[in-house]
Structure 1
Amino acid sequence: MAARFKMNRKGVGQLLKSEMIRADLVRRAGEIKATAVAISPVGGAGDEHPGQYKGNWEVDSTRRGGRRRDRAVAYVRNTSYYARWVEYGTERVPAHHVLLRAAQMGGD
């Protein structure tokens, strides 16, 4: 005989903003960051700042995220001013999709 399950909405809400969930999201974000660092392009001989993009990855988290500010979230981002152009490309620079590929490969 199967046991019946009755969801407690308040309990699910508490779980989704718990430190346990935030810690796991940070762990997964750290794995994505490590993958992003590993596959980040580094400028060639003419680059004034080789490795700047590769060195600007960071992980941040909060327990007040989501649309209603009631969920644990973790962010992986690159703080270099040109990160958008590396990710999506321009008419002169091909898109590298570093964060996209890192998210597809990392984080379980």
Structure 2
Amino acid sequence: MAAKFKMSRKGVGQLLRSEMVRAEMVRRAQVIKSVAEAIAPVGGESDPHPGHYKGSFKVSSTLRGGRRRNRATATVSNTAYYARWVEYGTERVRAHHVLLRAAQAGGRG
């Protein structure tokens, strides 16, 4: 006879807010950050701050993330003021989708 499993909603909630899950989210975010840094574009000779975008990736985490603020999360972001334009492009500059490509490639590492 197979054992029966009874899920505890409280237990699942505790697991989703646990330090163990937060640590795994941070580990995956660090992998994504590493991939993003590796594929980030660096400006040419006319760029007054070459490498600034590449060096501006950050990882943050919380135990109160998600839509309902009830789970551990980690976030990769870029603090360069022009990061949005690098990611999504403009009328004159093509979109690089650095974080999108890094998340697609690196989250499982």
Q: Where do 5+ consecutive residues of structure 1 fail to align?
A: none
1:17-53, Cα deviation, whole Å (9 max, x unpaired): 0000000000000000000000000000100000000
- Output the aligned Cα RMSD: 0.7
Structure 1 partner of 2:6 = 6
Shift of the alpha carbon at 1:5?
A: 1.1
Partner Cα distance (1:3, 1:40) in 2: 51
Moved more, 89-98 or 62-71: 62-71
For normalisation by structure 2, the TM-score amounts to 0.97
- Report how many aligned residue pairs link the two structures: 108
For normalisation by structure 1, the TM-score amounts to 0.98
Shift of the alpha carbon at 1:68?
A: 1.6
Shift of the alpha carbon at 1:59?
A: 0.2
Does the alignment pair 1:91 with 2:100?
no
Q: Percent identity?
A: 73
**Runs ≥4 in structure 1, deviation > 4 angstroms?**
none
Q: Where do 5+ consecutive residues of structure 2 fail to align?
A: none
